[in-house]
Amino acid sequence: MNAKPNTDDLRSRHVRPQGMPWDTMRFPGCECKTLLSDPKSGLATVLIKMAPGATLPDHEHVLIEQTYVLEGSLVDKEGPDKGLEVKAGEFVWRPAGSRHVAWCPNGGTMIAIFQVPNKFFERDGKVADVGGKDWASSWDHVLSK
């Protein structure tokens, strides 16, 4: 017999980002508000604000990543799409395995949707998630399903 789902699990989650504080990311000039995070699947939706000149260093999108720019612009500083600028009101998605350095020369705010967190390639050769934890030990379980 199938167990009946907990009705609380089926309720909508109403998020009010305007009342949430900005969390400082480990990358200078970058802040975020996590709107949805599911550690079991890796799914995340994040509001990201980057100060003028801020950079998200060398990283790989493990699965599809989607970004809608709300304010400012997001530029590929390095990678196969070097120079690509996504402006306010525009959308970009990146396929699994794509790798680049993202930059906001004039600042920007965007909403990003990740199927699995990015892999950040550290200067010491380690591969970490956005929080600086070892990527493999934190997220390999999601891909091995």
Listed by start position, the domains of the chain span 18-143
Residue that the structure tokens 């525009």 belong to: 90
Superfamily, domain 18-143: Jelly Rolls (2.60.120.10)
Q: Quick check: helix, strand or coil at residue 129?
A: coil
% the chain with pLDDT above 70 = 96
Q: Give the C-alpha separation, 44 to 114, whole Å.
A: 5
pLDDT tens figures, 37-55: 998 999 999 999 999 999 9
Nearest CA among 96, 13, 107 for reference residue 52: 107
Predicted model pTM: 0.89
Whole-number pLDDT of residue 1: 55
Question: Which tens digits make up the pLDDT trace of 71-125?
Answer: 999 999 988 888 999 999 999 999 999 999 999 999 999 999 999 999 999 999 9
